[in-house]
Amino acid sequence: MNKLTTNVLLKDLKFPEAPRWHDDRLWFSDMEDRKVMSVNVKGEIETILEVPNRPSGLGWLPNGRLLVVSMEDRKLFELESGALKEFADLGRFATYHLNDMVVSKQGCVYIGNFGFDFINDQPFIPAAIIMVTPEREAKVVAENFSFPNGMVITPDGKTIIIAETLSARLTAFDIKNDGTLINRRLWADLKSIPPDGICLDEEEAIWVAAPGQHRVVRVLEGGSITDIVEIKNEAYACMLGGPNLTTLFIASSISHHIREKGQIEYVEVDVPKAGFP
Protein backbone atom coordinates (compact mmCIF):
# COMPACT_ATOMS: atom_id res chain seq x y z
CA MET A 1 0.00 0.00 0.00
CA ASN A 2 1.31 3.43 -0.96
CA LYS A 3 1.37 6.18 1.68
CA LEU A 4 1.61 9.75 0.40
CA THR A 5 1.93 13.20 1.96
CA THR A 6 0.73 16.57 0.69
CA ASN A 7 1.92 20.08 -0.01
CA VAL A 8 -0.28 23.14 0.61
CA LEU A 9 -1.52 25.15 -2.36
CA LEU A 10 -3.82 27.58 -0.54
CA LYS A 11 -4.18 28.62 3.11
CA ASP A 12 -6.44 30.92 5.15
CA LEU A 13 -9.75 29.52 3.96
CA LYS A 14 -12.64 28.72 6.29
CA PHE A 15 -14.29 25.49 5.14
CA PRO A 16 -13.48 24.57 1.52
CA GLU A 17 -15.64 21.88 -0.10
CA ALA A 18 -16.75 20.49 -3.48
CA PRO A 19 -13.49 20.96 -5.44
CA ARG A 20 -13.80 20.69 -9.24
CA TRP A 21 -11.18 20.86 -12.00
CA HIS A 22 -12.48 23.08 -14.82
CA ASP A 23 -10.80 25.32 -17.41
CA ASP A 24 -7.31 24.65 -16.00
CA ARG A 25 -8.28 25.82 -12.52
CA LEU A 26 -9.52 24.25 -9.31
CA TRP A 27 -12.94 25.59 -8.40
CA PHE A 28 -14.41 25.11 -4.92
CA SER A 29 -17.01 26.33 -2.46
CA ASP A 30 -15.98 27.90 0.83
CA MET A 31 -19.16 27.12 2.76
CA GLU A 32 -18.42 29.27 5.77
CA ASP A 33 -17.11 32.23 3.77
CA ARG A 34 -20.17 31.84 1.50
CA LYS A 35 -18.12 32.13 -1.69
CA VAL A 36 -17.34 30.13 -4.80
CA MET A 37 -13.66 30.52 -5.64
CA SER A 38 -11.06 29.22 -8.05
CA VAL A 39 -7.29 28.86 -7.89
CA ASN A 40 -4.62 27.97 -10.44
CA VAL A 41 -1.64 25.69 -9.84
CA LYS A 42 0.46 28.72 -8.81
CA GLY A 43 -1.92 29.48 -5.93
CA GLU A 44 -3.44 32.57 -7.56
CA ILE A 45 -7.00 32.80 -6.25
CA GLU A 46 -10.15 34.41 -7.63
CA THR A 47 -13.57 34.90 -6.06
CA ILE A 48 -16.19 33.90 -8.63
CA LEU A 49 -19.37 34.77 -6.72
CA GLU A 50 -21.00 34.97 -3.30
CA VAL A 51 -23.80 32.65 -2.18
CA PRO A 52 -25.57 34.05 0.92
CA ASN A 53 -27.14 30.73 1.95
CA ARG A 54 -23.87 28.76 1.76
CA PRO A 55 -22.62 27.12 -1.43
CA SER A 56 -21.90 23.41 -1.77
CA GLY A 57 -21.86 21.27 -4.92
CA LEU A 58 -20.67 22.78 -8.20
CA GLY A 59 -21.11 21.65 -11.80
CA TRP A 60 -21.44 22.83 -15.39
CA LEU A 61 -24.25 22.32 -17.87
CA PRO A 62 -23.43 21.19 -21.42
CA ASN A 63 -23.78 24.85 -22.49
CA GLY A 64 -20.97 25.79 -20.09
CA ARG A 65 -23.04 27.57 -17.44
CA LEU A 66 -22.02 27.09 -13.84
CA LEU A 67 -24.52 25.52 -11.44
CA VAL A 68 -24.24 26.07 -7.67
CA VAL A 69 -26.06 24.36 -4.82
CA SER A 70 -27.38 26.83 -2.24
CA MET A 71 -27.58 24.77 0.93
CA GLU A 72 -29.78 26.55 3.42
CA ASP A 73 -32.58 27.70 1.10
CA ARG A 74 -32.46 24.34 -0.74
CA LYS A 75 -32.16 25.80 -4.20
CA LEU A 76 -30.06 25.23 -7.29
CA PHE A 77 -28.74 28.35 -9.01
CA GLU A 78 -27.03 29.02 -12.32
CA LEU A 79 -24.56 31.79 -13.07
CA GLU A 80 -25.90 33.90 -15.90
CA SER A 81 -24.30 37.16 -17.06
CA GLY A 82 -22.41 37.43 -13.78
CA ALA A 83 -25.47 37.00 -11.55
CA LEU A 84 -27.11 34.06 -9.80
CA LYS A 85 -30.43 32.96 -11.25
CA GLU A 86 -32.67 30.32 -9.69
CA PHE A 87 -32.56 27.08 -11.67
CA ALA A 88 -34.72 24.89 -9.39
CA ASP A 89 -36.33 25.13 -5.95
CA LEU A 90 -35.86 21.76 -4.23
CA GLY A 91 -37.41 22.59 -0.87
CA ARG A 92 -40.28 20.15 -1.28
CA PHE A 93 -37.89 17.24 -1.88
CA ALA A 94 -35.07 17.87 0.62
CA THR A 95 -35.65 17.18 4.30
CA TYR A 96 -32.69 19.36 5.33
CA HIS A 97 -29.84 21.36 3.78
CA LEU A 98 -28.74 20.46 0.27
CA ASN A 99 -25.27 19.00 -0.10
CA ASP A 100 -23.02 17.86 -2.95
CA MET A 101 -24.00 17.16 -6.56
CA VAL A 102 -22.80 15.86 -9.90
CA VAL A 103 -23.86 16.86 -13.43
CA SER A 104 -24.00 14.23 -16.19
CA LYS A 105 -22.79 14.70 -19.77
CA GLN A 106 -26.46 15.10 -20.79
CA GLY A 107 -27.02 17.84 -18.22
CA CYS A 108 -28.96 15.87 -15.60
CA VAL A 109 -28.12 17.13 -12.11
CA TYR A 110 -28.06 14.75 -9.12
CA ILE A 111 -28.19 16.41 -5.69
CA GLY A 112 -28.11 14.99 -2.18
CA ASN A 113 -29.11 16.53 1.14
CA PHE A 114 -28.29 15.98 4.79
CA GLY A 115 -31.65 14.44 5.62
CA PHE A 116 -31.54 15.87 9.14
CA ASP A 117 -29.69 18.35 11.35
CA PHE A 118 -26.74 16.18 12.38
CA ILE A 119 -24.74 19.15 13.69
CA ASN A 120 -27.27 19.65 16.51
CA ASP A 121 -27.79 15.92 17.14
CA GLN A 122 -31.35 15.81 15.83
CA PRO A 123 -32.94 12.40 15.11
CA PHE A 124 -31.78 10.61 11.98
CA ILE A 125 -33.93 11.01 8.85
CA PRO A 126 -32.97 9.18 5.63
CA ALA A 127 -32.31 11.43 2.66
CA ALA A 128 -33.17 11.30 -1.04
CA ILE A 129 -31.27 11.93 -4.25
CA ILE A 130 -32.98 14.57 -6.37
CA MET A 131 -32.56 14.77 -10.11
CA VAL A 132 -33.03 18.04 -12.01
CA THR A 133 -33.33 17.71 -15.79
CA PRO A 134 -31.94 20.25 -18.29
CA GLU A 135 -35.56 21.42 -18.60
CA ARG A 136 -35.47 22.24 -14.84
CA GLU A 137 -37.90 19.51 -13.85
CA ALA A 138 -37.06 18.03 -10.44
CA LYS A 139 -37.97 14.68 -8.90
CA VAL A 140 -36.67 12.13 -6.41
CA VAL A 141 -34.81 9.29 -8.13
CA ALA A 142 -33.52 7.34 -5.09
CA GLU A 143 -34.36 7.27 -1.38
CA ASN A 144 -33.23 5.94 2.00
CA PHE A 145 -29.67 7.23 2.09
CA SER A 146 -27.57 7.66 5.22
CA PHE A 147 -26.34 11.20 4.56
CA PRO A 148 -25.55 11.13 0.80
CA ASN A 149 -22.42 13.08 0.05
CA GLY A 150 -19.94 13.08 -2.84
CA MET A 151 -21.01 11.54 -6.17
CA VAL A 152 -19.25 10.45 -9.36
CA ILE A 153 -20.48 9.32 -12.78
CA THR A 154 -18.40 6.94 -14.89
CA PRO A 155 -17.04 8.18 -18.25
CA ASP A 156 -19.62 6.18 -20.23
CA GLY A 157 -22.39 7.94 -18.30
CA LYS A 158 -23.99 4.63 -17.31
CA THR A 159 -23.17 4.41 -13.59
CA ILE A 160 -23.41 6.80 -10.66
CA ILE A 161 -21.66 6.07 -7.35
CA ILE A 162 -22.73 7.87 -4.19
CA ALA A 163 -20.92 8.20 -0.85
CA GLU A 164 -23.12 7.43 2.16
CA THR A 165 -21.25 9.03 5.02
CA LEU A 166 -23.15 7.61 7.98
CA SER A 167 -23.20 4.06 6.60
CA ALA A 168 -19.51 4.03 5.56
CA ARG A 169 -20.24 2.76 2.08
CA LEU A 170 -20.28 3.64 -1.60
CA THR A 171 -23.55 2.83 -3.36
CA ALA A 172 -23.93 2.44 -7.13
CA PHE A 173 -26.86 2.70 -9.56
CA ASP A 174 -27.29 2.23 -13.28
CA ILE A 175 -28.41 5.41 -15.07
CA LYS A 176 -31.25 4.95 -17.56
CA ASN A 177 -31.54 6.99 -20.76
CA ASP A 178 -34.01 9.34 -19.07
CA GLY A 179 -31.61 9.93 -16.16
CA THR A 180 -33.51 7.88 -13.58
CA LEU A 181 -31.64 5.36 -11.44
CA ILE A 182 -32.06 1.57 -11.22
CA ASN A 183 -30.23 -1.51 -9.90
CA ARG A 184 -29.09 -0.19 -6.53
CA ARG A 185 -26.08 -2.10 -5.24
CA LEU A 186 -23.14 -1.92 -2.85
CA TRP A 187 -20.00 -0.70 -4.64
CA ALA A 188 -17.74 -0.79 -1.58
CA ASP A 189 -18.16 -1.42 2.14
CA LEU A 190 -15.70 1.01 3.71
CA LYS A 191 -16.17 -0.41 7.21
CA SER A 192 -14.76 2.29 9.53
CA ILE A 193 -14.18 4.96 6.86
CA PRO A 194 -16.92 7.62 6.57
CA PRO A 195 -16.82 8.84 2.95
CA ASP A 196 -17.33 12.53 2.23
CA GLY A 197 -16.22 13.99 -1.13
CA ILE A 198 -15.04 11.53 -3.79
CA CYS A 199 -13.49 11.46 -7.28
CA LEU A 200 -12.88 8.81 -9.92
CA ASP A 201 -9.73 7.80 -11.83
CA GLU A 202 -9.09 6.01 -15.12
CA GLU A 203 -8.70 2.63 -13.43
CA GLU A 204 -12.22 3.00 -12.01
CA ALA A 205 -10.86 3.46 -8.50
CA ILE A 206 -12.34 6.12 -6.23
CA TRP A 207 -10.44 8.54 -4.03
CA VAL A 208 -12.39 9.05 -0.79
CA ALA A 209 -11.99 11.92 1.68
CA ALA A 210 -12.34 10.47 5.18
CA PRO A 211 -13.20 13.13 7.80
CA GLY A 212 -12.24 12.17 11.31
CA GLN A 213 -9.28 10.11 10.08
CA HIS A 214 -6.87 12.73 8.70
CA ARG A 215 -6.64 10.97 5.37
CA VAL A 216 -7.81 10.37 1.84
CA VAL A 217 -7.84 6.78 0.58
CA ARG A 218 -8.01 5.20 -2.88
CA VAL A 219 -10.59 2.42 -2.99
CA LEU A 220 -11.29 -0.30 -5.53
CA GLU A 221 -14.75 -1.74 -6.17
CA GLY A 222 -15.35 -4.19 -3.35
CA GLY A 223 -13.50 -2.08 -0.77
CA SER A 224 -9.76 -2.80 -1.13
CA ILE A 225 -7.55 0.21 -0.37
CA THR A 226 -4.48 0.78 -2.56
CA ASP A 227 -3.22 4.21 -1.43
CA ILE A 228 -3.46 6.47 1.62
CA VAL A 229 -2.75 10.22 1.76
CA GLU A 230 -2.20 11.39 5.33
CA ILE A 231 -2.80 15.02 6.35
CA LYS A 232 -2.87 17.03 9.61
CA ASN A 233 -6.24 18.64 8.93
CA GLU A 234 -9.43 16.69 8.31
CA ALA A 235 -10.13 15.87 4.66
CA TYR A 236 -13.65 16.73 3.47
CA ALA A 237 -13.39 16.47 -0.31
CA CYS A 238 -10.93 15.65 -3.09
CA MET A 239 -10.58 16.09 -6.84
CA LEU A 240 -8.09 15.00 -9.49
CA GLY A 241 -6.87 17.70 -11.85
CA GLY A 242 -3.78 19.65 -12.79
CA PRO A 243 -1.98 19.70 -16.17
CA ASN A 244 -1.90 15.89 -16.44
CA LEU A 245 -5.05 15.23 -14.37
CA THR A 246 -2.84 13.42 -11.85
CA THR A 247 -2.78 16.07 -9.11
CA LEU A 248 -5.01 15.06 -6.22
CA PHE A 249 -6.38 18.22 -4.61
CA ILE A 250 -7.76 17.91 -1.07
CA ALA A 251 -10.12 20.36 0.62
CA SER A 252 -9.36 20.26 4.34
CA SER A 253 -10.19 22.05 7.58
CA ILE A 254 -9.81 21.49 11.32
CA SER A 255 -13.22 19.89 11.94
CA HIS A 256 -16.96 20.19 11.34
CA HIS A 257 -17.28 22.14 14.59
CA ILE A 258 -14.22 24.42 14.26
CA ARG A 259 -14.53 25.71 10.72
CA GLU A 260 -11.33 27.61 10.20
CA LYS A 261 -7.79 27.20 8.90
CA GLY A 262 -9.14 25.58 5.79
CA GLN A 263 -6.66 24.64 3.09
CA ILE A 264 -6.33 23.25 -0.40
CA GLU A 265 -3.63 20.60 -0.28
CA TYR A 266 -2.25 18.53 -3.14
CA VAL A 267 -0.16 15.49 -4.00
CA GLU A 268 0.85 13.87 -7.29
CA VAL A 269 -0.57 10.41 -7.95
CA ASP A 270 -0.18 7.88 -10.75
CA VAL A 271 -3.60 7.48 -12.37
CA PRO A 272 -5.42 10.40 -14.09
CA LYS A 273 -8.90 11.70 -13.47
CA ALA A 274 -11.89 10.19 -15.22
CA GLY A 275 -15.66 10.67 -15.38
CA PHE A 276 -17.74 13.39 -13.75
CA PRO A 277 -17.31 15.73 -11.97
Residues forming beta bridges with residue 17, ordered by sequence position: 29
| pLDDT given for residue 153 in this prediction | 98
- Residue 260 scores a pLDDT above 80: no
Query: pTM of this prediction?
Result: 0.96
All structural domains of the chain with their residue ranges: 2-268
- 118-140 average pLDDT score: 91
| pLDDT given for residue 256 in this prediction | 64
Distance CA 228, CA 230 (A): 6
Distance CA 109, CA 118 (A): 25
> Greater confidence, 260 or 49?
49
Residue 36 · residue 48 · CB < 8 Å: yes
Closest by CA to 251, choosing from 230, 237, 241, 233, is 237
State the pLDDT confidence band at 2, using cuts at 50, 70 and 90.
Answer: confident
| pLDDT given for residue 263 in this prediction | 96
State the pLDDT confidence band at 193, using cuts at 50, 70 and 90.
Answer: very high
| pLDDT given for residue 268 in this prediction | 97
- Residue 257 scores a pLDDT above 70: no
pLDDT in tens, 165-189: 999 999 999 999 999 999 999 999 9
| pLDDT given for residue 38 in this prediction | 98
- Residue 10 scores a pLDDT above 80: yes
Architecture of the domain spanning 2-268:
6 Propeller (2.120)
pLDDT in tens, 57-107: 999 999 999 999 999 999 999 999 888 999 999 999 999 999 999 999 999
Q: Is 192 exposed, middle or buried (0-12, 13-18, 19+ CB in 10 A)?
A: exposed
| DSSP annotation string for 98-155 | EEEEEE-TT--EEEEE-SS-TTTTPPP--EEEEEE-TT--EEEEEEEESSEEEEEE-T
